[in-house]
Amino acid sequence: MALLLKNARVIDPQVELDTVCDVLVRDGRIVEVGQDLAMEKGETVDLTGKVLVPGLVDMHVHLREPGYEQKEDIASGTRAAAHGGFTAVCAMPNTAPVIDNAVGVEYVKARAAQVGKCRVIVSGACTKGLEGEILAEMGDMHAHGVKAFTDDGHGVQDAGMMRRVMEYASQFDCVVMPHCQDDSLVGEGQVNEGTCSTRLGMFGWPAEGEELEIMRDIALCRLTGCPLHIQHITTARGLQLVRDAKAEGLPVTCEVTPHHLFLTEDDIDDTYPTALKVNPPLRTAADARALIEGVADGTVDAIVTDHAPHTDWEKDREFELAPFGMIGLETALSLVLTNLVKPGVIDYGRMVDLMAVRPRAILREEPVRLEAGSIADLTVIDPDAAWTVARADFLSKAGNSGFIGAELVGRATEVYVGGYATLKDGVIVE
């Protein structure tokens, strides 16, 4: 099958490319990138005015299957991903049952192959049942293709256990991706501890509850040599710890979410909006500014959604009773384009780095480059498409977004996975 994508602005910092040209794809791979390409037969798509980049990867997504299909499943979650411009997502293991052995890994892979609209990279738990007590079957999961381990949703409380996880993972050159949360400090914390928790009269989730585990895990990275990827970093001091670790030469990377970049604790008003209840919590405006600086200066490696779907009946409760998390797959790219690329905080090349290049490298996936021979996982963006975020447009089963009503500019219109269209003119290809 041949596919000729014509006249897009083709951007890939890996091959120092930013020019209007054509991309020819055959049998799932790019065969040529250049001017005025032609082919005998196949499908030609005119992408004049659009931007074509290596397929986006969201390395932090909750697809909720198996076990929580009322919130989301692999079919709906991957449709939401394609709708948002992604060619691959990394699924978190906090399902029911937890993905802590090879059977669970094979289940997710099989479902994704059956019903997925994008690639699904499976991450495995560090500890059995995410309980922090017994090592998960990491070696077996690795034999079944897992290259990233996380107890996301929970911090591994015991430093000795975390050391064993990292020693074990480092044998396979796998990455360990901690959700940094010290339970003894966080307890029943609902929102950032400080002005916000005082104003709303709720238990606080202190910055130190996150920063102490970041500090500890960086120390364990130094001890074990295991590649460490800090999930959803939210504070200025936490980010500085990562900056210092990188300067020291440690294999440490980190990610941020659009909600921690573009929302703050000040957005949680006295209507107690449960869509803004996330873990870790929305922090101060100064923290958000520091994270944006980290995105611009290269300290932040990846922008991820932490797409965390919940049903309406779970979120439509008192703030303290509502579960943590918000969805993000269908708004992330547009939020980044609107708030970072358009104002010139970062350029398209850096966006590609944050949302495609670095996530693949951290997850040890084959790189996608806009040159001959590469896998044809591609995202096409209409940079001028203005739209308003509306719940009715989500393909996710859930609506718990903190950005409903936001006016954004730029969105994905076409997505190709292995040369096959999963999104055309903004509509899922069935």
Which amino acids are annotated catalytic?
Answer: 306
| Residue whose C-beta lies closest to Zn ion | 179
143-180 burial string, b = 16+ CB within 10 Å, else e?
ebebbbbbbbbbbbbeeebbbbbbebbbebebbbbbbb
Give the tokens for residue 392.
């009715």
Residue among 147 and 179 whose Cβ is closer to Zn ion: 179
Report in angstroms how near the CB of residue 425 gets to Zn ion at its nearest.
34
Residue 217, classed as helix, strand or coil, is: helix
Report in angstroms how near the CB of residue 390 gets to Zn ion at its nearest.
27
Residue among 152 and 287 whose Cβ is closer to Zn ion: 152
- 32 by Cβ neighbours in 10 Å (0-12 / 13-18 / 19+) ranks as middle
Taking each helix axis from N to C terminus, what angle separates 102-115 and 74-83, rounded to the nearest 10 degrees?
Answer: 60
Report in angstroms how near the CB of residue 232 gets to Zn ion at its nearest.
6
Residue among 13 and 155 whose Cβ is closer to Zn ion: 155
* DSSP alpha helix (H) spans, 203-303: 207-224, 236-248, 258-262, 285-297
| Termini Cα distance of the chain | 18
- 291 by Cβ neighbours in 10 Å (0-12 / 13-18 / 19+) ranks as buried
* Cα gap 207→103, rounded to integer Å: 37
Q: Who's near 110: CB < 8 A, 6+ residues apart?
A: none
Report in angstroms how near the CB of residue 394 gets to Zn ion at its nearest.
21
**Contact criterion met (CB below 8 Å) for 136 and 127:** yes
Report in angstroms how near the CB of residue 152 gets to Zn ion at its nearest.
4
The CA-atom distances, in angstroms, between 154 and each of 123, 158, 181, 204, 327 are 15, 12, 7, 17, 19
Q: Which residues bind Zn ion (CB under 5 A)?
A: 152, 179
Report in angstroms how near the CB of residue 130 gets to Zn ion at its nearest.
11
Residue among 83 and 179 whose Cβ is closer to Zn ion: 179
**Contact criterion met (CB below 8 Å) for 9 and 355:** no
Give the tokens for residue 316.
């439509």
Taking each helix axis from N to C terminus, what angle separates 207-224 and 159-171, rounded to the nearest 10 degrees?
Answer: 50
